[in-house]
Structure 1
Amino acid sequence: MLAGKTGSGKSSFVRMLGGLDVNGNEPVSDGGLESCTTKPTTYVTRYNGRTVLLLDTPGFDDSALDNLAILTDIVSNLYIWALQDKEIHTHGVVFLHDISETRFGGSQQKTLQLLKSMCGPEAMGNVIIGTTMWSDNGTKRQAQTIRVPDGDEDVAKSIIGDLLARPPTKLLVQTELLIPPHTCEATTVGRIAIPEGKREAERLAKEMEEQKLEAERLAKEKEEQREKERVEDRKRYEEEQERSRKEMEDRLEEEQKKNAEEREKREEEHQREREEYAEKQRKEREEYQRKQEEDRERYERERAEDRRRQDEAIAAANRRAEEAIRRAQEELDDDGWCPIIFRLVTMIVGKALGVL
């Protein structure tokens, strides 16, 4: 099992050993203060032909999970291992600590306290403390403390080899879980963590109640403020409606006045157009009558001139006929067979007169 504060390098340790989960994925770590391991996860790797299970656990100072919930998940996994004791042998715990932290803070001390409660005195000999985040390489052993430079696979494998060389052991919590009632509450670590968890839950419940009351108070104040704003908005709306109505009435009255003036102006323009049209029609009729009169007078003059010319032509024809008759008469007196010619001339003259 791997334990330690969030960001101490547990997931990186698993990757150095080539551990993969049931889906064949490596553990994810962003290298920051936020934990990427949100629940205990088992990874499988191989060492010297042996299958090794690595239980990567979230830190108890995790920002995403409650400590009691984390502990319950870890205990559940260890209980499963204890039930499969013939197939799975627990060889120990690797506790990783970030060496760049100059103080062993409260969260680390809390983790160690819970770790001791889970392991018990007999299994503490199978606990190795590894210090991580070293800037240089190398392996240095001081009692049960091992220096683990970042990315040094040899050191990680030496730790696993050290644990596998030791006899398998059962953590205290695993032994206690095999005894009825098989619950976390009945274990040593549970008796330590659960009361604290309950106190924390009560504290959180109290805070939540206080927050609820505060939220209700704020909601009431906000609702009162909203009601006040709604009243003011309604008043402004009514005033705006009244102002809009007055403006609309004034605009309508102005438009009606303007329309009346435009209608009057159009009527005057139409009347003027009608008068102009009537005057134009009158002038056209007069011009037409004048032209008709001129045409009639011209026709009368032309008829009179035609009658005059006809009269002159008839008179001229009569004169020619008389002259022809006279000459014919004279010739008749001189020649006895001329009566026939006289009749012919008379006929011709008569036809000529008939044509005219």
Structure 2
Amino acid sequence: MAGPTENAAGDGLDASPMPNVGPDDIVIAVMGVTGVGKSTFIAHFSKTAKAGDGLESCTSNVSIHPARVGNRDIFLIDTPGFDDTYRSDTDVLREVADWLNQSFQANIQLAGIVYLHRIQDNRVGGSSMKNLRMFKQLCGENGLSCVVLATTMWSMVPRDQAEQREQELINKPEFWGRLISKGSQVLRQDNGVESATKIIEYILSKQKRITLKIQEEMASGKALGETSAGQEVEADIERLTKKHKEEMTWLKQEMQEAIRKKDYESQQEIKAIRAELAAKMNKAQEDRQRLEVNIEELRQQRISEVQKEREQAYQRDLEHQRVMMESKANLATLQAKKELEAQLLEARLKQQYADAEIQRLRDEKDPGPCIVM
């Protein structure tokens, strides 16, 4: 068994998706929307996890964290949510799918999944609902008995409200009801490391390994866009494209009206909005095309993307170092200037004092002419 070591943690920029992890290792994925507490959960067991205090994602890529729970060595996988701050759903799906594909080919199966949800959210909608739909499509039904649906942020709302929301999640089929009927377990992440340990121990007690639906689909030869998860993303792209087309039609009418009124200021504003909207439509089309990849094509593209990300990170690091060195040089110059000014001021004061002392001595020796009254 390849025991976890701290340098086994992946940073999301590794061309090898499963460094130092073998088929006999216990691997558990942690999923959920941005800001739900994935990195915080993992940080209870691993020093390599970075926990944040804001709503921006600390996890922009899949990352692997060696951890110890009780006397068991495991690996916890931090995954980006499908509401990533800076990346599209296509980007996130490609990242997660590639990691799952490569782990499947290496005969590494998940022992389970921890799916986190903020209990403070007063409704399941928007990004939370989209993330849940994607989770269902990624998993399929076979592995749901090894899934823990865990609620976080219990200290943020009154207990009675939190319990009411928990029951709504459990009872409604469109939320967690169907997952629970297929064997998923609901637990609370409401007491730091203690409750987190219970969640991991529950998964370990199942003593099972699961294969996710998307792994089976792509292993059978399907393109990413043909998988259930890929079709879910494509449906969102189609809805977004339709909305953008409607907005473009409305902007065309607004432009015609602005031209008729010779409203040049409005024309410029509309042009800017149309350009931004056209860019979004082009990006949506590119995202759709980037789903048309099989396992090997996705792997080769991800290797190229990782290399590009590394180069960009290296350039950013160089630029950061340049700015820091420039700032230090400017600060040193400013300090030297201030020190020189202080020295000059001190020298002038000393000279003035010396001149005054010389004048005093002269006055004592030659008090001037006597005046006789």
**TM-score with structure 1 length normalisation?**
0.51
Q: Which residue of 2 aligns with 1:174?
A: 215
Classify 1:209/1:6 alpha carbon distance in 2 versus 1 (closer, same or farther; 3 Å): farther
Q: Quick check: 1:93–1:128 contact (8 Å CA) kept in 2?
A: yes
What are the residue-to-residue correspondences of 1:244-323 with 2, within 5 Å?
Answer: none
Percent identity of equivalent pairs: 30
CA–CA distance in 2 between the matches of 1:163 and 1:59?
21
Counterpart of 1:124 (choices 144, 154, 176) is 144
Q: Which residue of 2 aligns with 1:81?
A: 103
Q: Which residue of 1 aligns with 2:13?
A: none
Classify 1:51/1:82 alpha carbon distance in 2 versus 1 (closer, same or farther; 3 Å): farther
CA–CA distance in 2 between the matches of 1:177 and 1:51?
30
Q: Computing the radius of gyration over CA atoms, which structure comes out larger, 1 or 2?
A: 1
In structure 1, list runs of 5 or more residues that go unmatched.
21-25, 226-356
CA–CA distance in 2 between the matches of 1:52 and 1:208?
51
CA–CA distance in 2 between the matches of 1:44 and 1:156?
16
Counterpart of 2:79 (choices 33, 50, 57) is 57
Query: Which string of whole-angstrom CA distances, capped at 9 and with x for unpartnered residues, describes residues 17-36 of structure 1?
Result: 2252xxxxx3241x222222
Classify 1:212/1:10 alpha carbon distance in 2 versus 1 (closer, same or farther; 3 Å): farther
Tell me, yes or no, if structure 1 residue 18 matches structure 2 residue 38. no
What are the residue-to-residue correspondences of 1:203-242 with 2, within 5 Å?
Answer: 221=264
CA–CA distance in 2 between the matches of 1:203 and 1:19?
44
Q: Which residue of 2 aligns with 1:310?
A: none
Structure 1 letter corresponding to 2:203: L
Cα distance, 1:120 vs structure 2: 0.9
Counterpart of 2:115 (choices 69, 72, 95) is 95
CA–CA distance in 2 between the matches of 1:39 and 1:190?
18
Secondary structure in 2 matching 1:5? coil
Structure 1 letter corresponding to 2:38: K
Q: Which residue of 2 aligns with 1:261?
A: none
Cα distance, 1:89 vs structure 2: 2.4
Secondary structure in 2 matching 1:196? helix
What are the residue-to-residue correspondences of 1:340-355 with 2, within 5 Å?
Answer: none
Cα distance, 1:214 vs structure 2: 9.8
Secondary structure in 1 matching 2:84? coil
Classify 1:69/1:201 alpha carbon distance in 2 versus 1 (closer, same or farther; 3 Å): farther
Cα distance, 1:164 vs structure 2: 2.1
Secondary structure in 1 matching 2:54? coil
Cα distance, 1:8 vs structure 2: 0.9
Classify 1:146/1:207 alpha carbon distance in 2 versus 1 (closer, same or farther; 3 Å): same
Q: Which residue of 2 aligns with 1:344?
A: none
Secondary structure in 2 matching 1:65? coil
Counterpart of 1:155 (choices 179, 187, 195) is 195
Tell me, yes or no, if structure 1 residue 37 matches structure 2 residue 59. yes
Q: Which residue of 2 aligns with 1:69?
A: 91
In structure 2, list runs of 5 or more residues that go unmatched.
1-28, 157-162, 171-179, 269-373
CA–CA distance in 2 between the matches of 1:36 and 1:205?
34
CA–CA distance in 2 between the matches of 1:214 and 1:58?
39
Structure 2 letter corresponding to 1:156: A
Classify 1:199/1:47 alpha carbon distance in 2 versus 1 (closer, same or farther; 3 Å): same
Q: Quick check: 1:28–1:37 contact (8 Å CA) kept in 2?
A: no
CA–CA distance in 2 between the matches of 1:122 and 1:94?
16
Secondary structure in 2 matching 1:121? coil
Counterpart of 1:109 (choices 121, 129, 135) is 129
Secondary structure in 2 matching 1:2? strand
What are the residue-to-residue correspondences of 1:184-195 with 2, within 5 Å?
Answer: 184-195=224-235
Greater RCO (Cα-Cα under 8 Å, separation 6 or more): 2
Classify 1:202/1:40 alpha carbon distance in 2 versus 1 (closer, same or farther; 3 Å): farther
Classify 1:55/1:207 alpha carbon distance in 2 versus 1 (closer, same or farther; 3 Å): farther
* Aligned residue pair count: 211
Cα distance, 1:49 vs structure 2: 4.8
CA–CA distance in 2 between the matches of 1:213 and 1:58?
40
Give the RMSD, CA atoms, in angstroms: 3.5
Cα distance, 1:202 vs structure 2: 6.6
**TM-score with structure 2 length normalisation?**
0.49
Query: Which string of whole-angstrom CA distances, capped at 9 and with x for unpartnered residues, describes residues 62-91 of structure 1?
Result: 332212221221111111111111xx2211
Classify 1:206/1:2 alpha carbon distance in 2 versus 1 (closer, same or farther; 3 Å): farther
Classify 1:89/1:107 alpha carbon distance in 2 versus 1 (closer, same or farther; 3 Å): same
Classify 1:66/1:210 alpha carbon distance in 2 versus 1 (closer, same or farther; 3 Å): farther
CA–CA distance in 2 between the matches of 1:89 and 1:28?
26
Cα distance, 1:38 vs structure 2: 1.7
Larger relative helix fraction = 1
Secondary structure in 1 matching 2:116? strand
Q: Which residue of 1 aligns with 2:35?
A: 7
Q: Which residue of 2 aligns with 1:27?
A: 50
